[in-house]
Amino acid sequence: MINLLYITLFCLTVSFQSIAGNWNQSSGKKYSNDFSSSIYKNWATWNTTGPYPKAAKRKNGKLIITVTKDMVDSHTNRTGRFEIQKNNISKNLAVYQKFKVRSHPDNLINDRVLVAQIKQFYSGTVGIIPQAAVFLDRTPTCTTYSYKKYPKHKIYKSDTIKSYTSKKKNWYFSEYRQLLELYNRPFETLADGNWHTVEMDVYPHSKYGYCTIKIDGKVWVSISNRNTRGTYSGRNFYYDARIGIYRDTVVHSHTVEFDDWEIETYKPETGKRIDSSN
């Protein structure tokens, strides 16, 4: 009888924890790591596409990631990476990510070097072009999607933001960024060897989606009421929020430091986390 009571109580506890976990997932949650004690917590993992956990280390309460020429992606030798992430974010939630970042002063930047992204995945498939991305070699980008329809190029925010459209199979991707044609060279705002604060705010929706990226209090790109949800009909999908290094293959190393990593998943009806008017 006592054993039966224990079993019943155990089942009720497990059931309650499961319900609570689902409730948190559907209504949002906050995560943070200042890297004072560990790189990974119970919510953070490393992205296995870049299978090199030794690329990351802690020093003086900072996360330091170094990617060498030998650290190529598991599925291609054209790119290399090591990123840590909060994965499996519900498609019904918006995602806010904030962190501090510093590019090593000796980094040679002559190709694409991405240091953060919020990216969508389909169940059992690879990801698509990220909804939001931050780089060391170019200005940050927000992306919209169109299926079997070539979107018109438009310029926004007093002619300071432009879309650059590419096609992959039947999908068109429009990346919005500042009207700076320079890339594959140091983006001085982030690649100057100093610490900077980056904020990213994304809501995936086919009509009311939004994306805003801010650096040191300045909004670099912001779009709203757009299709920021690139999905195939009937497919389940989820989001990852990542920091780390993702780059095209070069013969030299890159080292980037991170600190004070924060992620919040939230219901979009509670309001954007970044005021895009600033």
What residue numbers bound the domain in which 232 lies?
31-270
State residue 124's pLDDT score.
Answer: 58
> Does residue 249 fall inside a structural domain?
yes
Each residue of 215-260: pLDDT tens digit?
A: 999 999 999 999 999 865 556 788 999 999 999 999 999 999 999 9
Q: Tell me whether residue 122 is in a domain.
A: yes
Residue 82 lies in a domain: yes
> CATH number, domain at 202?
2.60.120.200
Say if 13 falls within a structural domain. Answer: no
Asked if the structure places residue 119 within a domain, the reply is: yes
Q: Is residue 127 part of a domain?
A: yes
- Is residue 143, in this structure, part of any structural domain at all? yes
Per-residue pLDDT tens digits for 141-174? 999 998 777 666 554 544 678 888 888 777 888 8
What is the distance between the alpha carbons of residues 80 and 247, in angstroms, rounded to a whole number?
Answer: 5
pTM equals 0.87
Answer yes or no: is 22 within a domain: no
Q: How many domains does the chain have?
A: 1
